[in-house]
Structures are given as structure tokens and as C-alpha cells.
Chains A and B, each alone.
Chain A
């Protein structure tokens, strides 16, 4: 009898050990921390369809929604309820990182309370004006802003302190104007902001490259500068970057995924490896391109240290702009 129990225990222990060394996901899900249809939804869809089409998962991963505070609700949920669940990947964006930097992700939570594991891709900020606006490049626009910053209305799809506001602040700052003097109008999302630009209620909209395709093709707006480190490829290659035009205005919108802070190293490495495989797989690359994102391939510890550096950089920006002490 005793021997039987012992052998049972032994077998049990062995299987447990085997399981630990070869982590296998069990019904993995992607949590989109926003309402359906937005950027986080698309981020999760890239993971879900991209991984399935690349053969990295048998069936497309389920996507669930947990809206609130650009990811704050999901961040708190993961930390308080399932910090060690290896089957829950949560989408994040630079907007989430910016809020972490400002301490808006809940009390006592910062960038160390998640395991940043993989990326979907990046999008870049773009400074846009209406097609019939008098400025043809960033310099003409900035010269006009300098003349009387208080008369110049910028607007975008997020409140003060959001990444849309940050883009506007960076542009204004690169013109040598104090961002606090900027006249900024906050809209609910990029859709409302681009409507306000077309209607002439705001003069400049620092939005994202990916979302502007339709309006650009129709010739309703023009891009004065793209906030990427170098020129984009493909159809956007004809637009100059802000840096080319002599302005230190760069904003990368990173989209990616994190796991709970107490997820085991085995599971973390498993997912990091899967991302590495995905980055080189044409099916995943297509899923990324379909959502108008530019490939950005970083995973595992490399991503972890990159994220921490970014949050630190954002903290500095937020202090400078007087958002936090």
C-alpha cells in the first residue's frame, strides 16, 4: 500500500517536473484592455490571427475585453487576481506606458509589475493639417506657432497627459515654445479629432500614421512631418520625417503584450520564443502589416529592459511638462 502511494507520488512529481520544463499553454487568451474595435482590440487580433496563421497555436486565441483607464483596470486585475496565470496575455501600448510613468495605473503599481514579453509592431505619430491649410512643411507651421502660440489650436484624441497630448507637446517644444502655453483641445479618440480637423475647429492634429490612410488617399488632409526616427517604407515613404526637417520631434507608438508579474520563467521563455518564431513568419508579418503597423521585433528580456528605459524617459517628459512632481 505504502509503496503504491509512494510510486503514485513519484509519478505525480515526475509529471509535474516534466510539465514545468516544457510549458504548454492551455486555452490562452488575449485581454484587450479597452472596448471592442479600438487599438487594443486590433493588437489582440494580430496575436490571435497571426499566431494561428503562423501555426504557433492550433486555433485562434480568444480575445476578451477589460476596458478602463488605457489598461489600468486590466493591470490591476492581473496583479491582484491572476499574477501567475501563464495563459493570459494582455495588450499594451505606449499610451499605457505613459500612464504608468505618471502613476495613473493604480496605487503602488509601476513598470515592474508585469513581465513584458512580445510586440505586435509600431506606429508613428504624424503631424497633420487640413489639405487647404497654408503650411507646406513643418518649418512654416512652427514659425507660425512661434508668432503667437496662444492663438494656435492643436487638438487630438486624448486628454492632457495622454500620448496624443504628448505628441503635441513635443512638437510645440521643438519650436521652442513652452508646452504649458499650448492651446490644446481634447477629443474622445482619433475619429472625433480628425472630424474636428476637417471641420476647421482645430488647426493641427498630431495623430497616428496608420489611422489616416483613408483621409490621406482622399486628399482631405496633408502630412507635414512623420515622427519616426527615419523615413517609412512603402506608401508613406514620400512624407519627410520631423527629424529630417530639423525638429527633434519623435514619437513611437509601441504595441505589444505582457504577462502577469509572477508568471514562471518557463512560461515566460516559452512565449518569448513563440514571439521570436512569429517575427520571422510571413503569416504573422502579414497580420502586422494588415493593421498598418510597422514591424518591431523585440521579445523577452530585451523587451523588458527596453520598456523600463521607455517608461523612465516618459517619466522625465511628464515631469518637464509639469504633469507630475
Chain B
């Protein structure tokens, strides 16, 4: 009953004309930002934050708009992933795996529509979970310690082990390259600089976005150029098909599972949309095995899973920020900074003392997601026309956008050279038949895994038994073993 009362306070805030206008503006701007490669939700929120502050918006309005940018970007990220094989932001990497093959065979419209609907259900599902379980989940977020993170990462690696399973050796090599990249930078355990070669730009490690954009966008451009030079460039046919009920029904369990896992991973501080979508993709591939599975070749399940998960994680990451003052992702860290600028201290008391802020935000997210779905579906027709742009125009546009996007992160030309270098490296990898996703996942999962393993061991003083300590660790360990052996067992039973 309490929840309903607070929600009604929230909607009374969110439905005022100014806040309604701001959530729509935020969502639209977010979709735009998300769809540009290199510029993700972090940049979008960072660009608008000073603006919101200087025009003197009340804190709840500013937060409503900035949050709109955040989840709007999670919608927008999928567009260039599907159409150009260039992830629009970090959470949309897995979307390229099945989205791009669909676009290539002329189903771009279908992929865009289905991913928009999956995103919508992912967000809405996560919001409902947030409203119902908020107090319980903020407990989970803090009880999740280093050992639990270690198991979660091992579980994620296990799920992904079969990714691109036809060439297991190449997948493993790809992951190892990613793991090696993850070791660059200051080692927090000892304070020693590792593999930085004295370059200050590498002291904090390689920037995740630079790697993603370098490897995906630059190598894609090189591949386009190569086929252009060979004159065997085929125009991608533009599909007409739109969202169909049968598609939606076919992925309903996929979306449900991915929403749940994406939300939970989003709630945990230190993990974000990229990990959430990777775990969802890997899990669904495991579930689909032996069941007419074409993951990596344009399977709609492989498209729906990461999109539902990355949107759910965006909603989930708001929860620890609001209830504990602990950011659940990079973007919420900026939102937290925004709250502090407005002299609002997020924390356990925020929901009681300033319900108009916390609940106004939650209510606005319901409205924003409906708006995003309505906004996105009619625009699909416009988006897919991107594919009919002549390559000689498209390539320079992609290059320009990526350069602007990457430069805007640090404002330093070092990143541009680094990005080009990585792009050439990725081009060679692709020519040799490697897939890029394992490299990126090795990088993002490896960093979290190493950090938490070292944390766990420094807590226990080097005693490995800390890894099996507490119910959550057992559950995650069992899930890992199950992910390893279950598909084989199922195959045996079927025989």
C-alpha cells in the first residue's frame, strides 16, 4: 500500500508539464547520443549536466532529464550495432553479434523493431522489480562481496566459453588478448605501474570505450574500404518487415530471463550494461543449444537477450545510487555527482525525506520508456535508410563520428592514435577469422575478476577458502558447474 502511495506522489511530480517535457527531451537526446558510435550515456549525461545546473532546474527535474538521457542511450545504442556492426555504446556490443547478420540478410527493420520491444520490456520489468524489491535488493548489493564477484565473473566466462563455439581455440586466444589488455595500468593491489611504458595515458589502464570503438568501428571501416577497393561491395537490402507478434512470443522467456539477470547485475556496484548483456547472451545461448540454435548468425533470441538485459541493468543501477549513495555503473556515478551538486545527499533517507526526488524519478522512468517505444518504432523506417546511404558517404561519416566521440572522452589525441592502432590490429584479427566480442569480454570481465580475486585474497590473507564462504558463493559455484556440464548431460539424455 505504501508503495502505491509513494508511486502516486511520484507520478504527480513526473506528470507536471515541465517534467513531462524534460523526460521526452532527455529520452530523445539519449537515443541520439546512444546511436552515435563512441558517444555513450556517460558523455550524454556529462554534456547536459552543467546545462541543467546553470538554467536552474529544480533537482528532481534535472535528475528526470538526465536519467532519460541514460536509458534513452541504452535504446539508441542498438541502432548502429544492428545496421553498421559498430556498437553505439558499451552495452550494445553483444547486439552486433546477431543484429548485424539480420540486417545483412535484409531484416534490419525486423531486428530494430524486435530490439526496441525487448528493450522496452527489459526496462519496464526492471522498474517493476525495483518498485517491489527495492529494500531487499539494496541489501543484496552490499552483501555481494569480492568472493561473490569472482564467482559471477567465472560464471560469465563459462557461459561465454561456447560463444562462437565453432572455433574454440580462436575464441580462447581472443579472450586472452582481452585479458592481457586488462592488465595494463596501475595495479591497485601493489600500486605498481604495469605495461604502461611510461605513458601517463595508460596509467589508469586502457579505456574501455577506446578499445570498443577502435576494434569495432575502425576495423569495420577498413573492411568496407577493402571490399570497396575490390569492387565487390553489395548494397544491403533494406527489409520492410516490422515487429510481429510471433517474434515477440518466440522470445518471451528469453526477455524475461534476461531482464531478471540484467537487473540483478545492474544493481551490483562495479558491473554494468556490458557485463549484463554478455551474461544474458551467454546464458541464452546455453539454453538454446540443440534447439535450432543459430546464435551469431542472426538468431532473434541472440538479439533480444542483450537488449533486454542492458536496459534492465540501466534501471537496476539506479537502485544502489538512490538507496545507498553508491553508483551501480559509470553513468550513475555522474548522476550521483549531479545530486551532490544540487546538495542532495543520496542515501537510505532519500526515499523518506525527499520522496518527490526518488519516486518522481522512478515514475518518470515508466513514462520515459513508453515514450521511447512510441518514439522508436516509427523511426525505424528512417533508421534503416542508413543502409541505403552510399558507402562512399557512410565511411567518412562513421570515421568522423568515432573520432569526435573518442576525442570527447579525454580530450587527448593519444586516444585517437591508440584507437587507430587497435583498429588495424582488429582488422588483422578479423581477417584471420577471429571474432572481436571475446576480446572485449576478456577485457571487461578480466578486470573485474582480477580486482575482486585480489580483494578476496587480501581479505583472507591469501587463503583460497574465502571463495567458498556463504550461501551466495555456493549458489554461484553450482550455477557455474551447471553451465559447464548441463548441455552435455541434456545431449546424453536425448540420445
Contacts and interface: CB of A to CB of B under 8 A. Distances in A.
A187 interface: yes
Nearest to B142: A199
Given A45-B341, A191-B327, A214-B349, A196 B203 contact: no
A36 B411 contact: no
Contact of B341 (A42, A106, A188, A200): A42
Contacts of B46: 35-37, 65
Interface in B332-389: 333-338, 340-341, 343, 345-350
Contacts of B143: 199-200
A68 B204 contact: yes
Interface in A154-193: 155, 158-162, 165, 183-189, 191-192
A275 to B, nearest CB: 21
Interface in A189-243: 189, 191-192, 194-196, 198-202, 213-215, 217-218, 220
Contacts of A104: 186, 193, 203
A68 B189 contact: no
A56 interface: no
A306 interface: no
A203 B325 CA distance: 19
B188 A37 contact: no
Interface residues of B, number: 58
Interface in B223-265: none
Interface stretch (B87-95, B175-183, B455-463): B455-463
Residue of A160, A184, A214, A291 with most chain B CB atoms under a 10 A cut-off:
A214
A158 B203 contact: no
Nearest to B411: A66
A50 B345 CA distance: 20
A: interface residue count bin: 35 or more
Contact of A199 (B53, B145, B334): B145
A305 interface: no
A195 B349 contact: no
A213 B330 CA distance: 22
A201 B473 CA distance: 14
Interface string A25-56: 00000000001111001100100010000000
Given A37-B333, A217-B345, A185 B458 contact: yes
Contacts of B347: 213-215, 217-218, 220
Interface string B444-466: 00000001001100110100000
A72 interface: yes
B324 interface: yes
Contact of A213 (B42, B338, B345): B345
Contact of B348 (A49, A199, A218): A218
A192 B326 contact: yes
Nearest to B190: A160
A313 interface: no
Interface residue SS majority, chain B: helix
A69 B200 contact: yes
A64 interface: yes
Interface in B306-341: 320, 324-327, 330, 333-338, 340-341
Interface string B386-410: 0000000000000000000000011
Given A186-B188, A186-B189, A73 B410 contact: yes
B141 interface: yes
A69 B336 contact: no
A183 B461 contact: yes
A34 B340 CA distance: 17
Mostly, the A contact residues are mixed
B367 to A, nearest CB: 25
A38 B145 contact: no
Contacts of B12: none
A150 interface: yes
Nearest to B343: A290
A64 to B, nearest CB: 6
Nearest to A31: B411
A191 B339 CA distance: 14
Contact of A65 (B54, B146, B411): B411
Nearest to A45: B341
Nearest to A150: B461
A159 B143 CA distance: 22
A251 interface: no
Given A66-B410, A213-B345, A214-B347, A162 B201 contact: no
Given A68-B200, A73-B203, A199-B145, A192 B346 contact: no
B410 A192 contact: no
B411 A64 contact: yes
A35 B42 contact: yes
B336 to A, nearest CB: 6
B291 to A, nearest CB: 39
Contact of B188 (A72, A76, A159, A196): A159
A213 B336 CA distance: 14
A178 to B, nearest CB: 15
Interface string B191-224: 1010000101101100000000000000000000
A70 B324 CA distance: 25
B453 to A, nearest CB: 12
A68 B326 contact: no
A104 B338 CA distance: 30
Contact of B144 (A65, A159, A199, A214): A199
14 contacts: A36-B46, A37-B333, A37-B337, A66-B410, A68-B412, A69-B200, A72-B200, A73-B200, A151-B461, A161-B191, A186-B188, A186-B451, A191-B326, A201-B145
Given A37-B333, A201-B146, 16 more contacts: A37-B335, A37-B337, A65-B46, A68-B204, A69-B203, A73-B410, A183-B459, A184-B458, A186-B455, A191-B327, A192-B269, A196-B142, A199-B142, A199-B145, A200-B145, A214-B350
List the 10 closest A-B pairs by CB distance, nearest first.
A214-B347, A37-B337, A159-B188, A161-B191, A69-B203, A160-B191, A199-B142, A37-B334, A214-B345, A36-B46
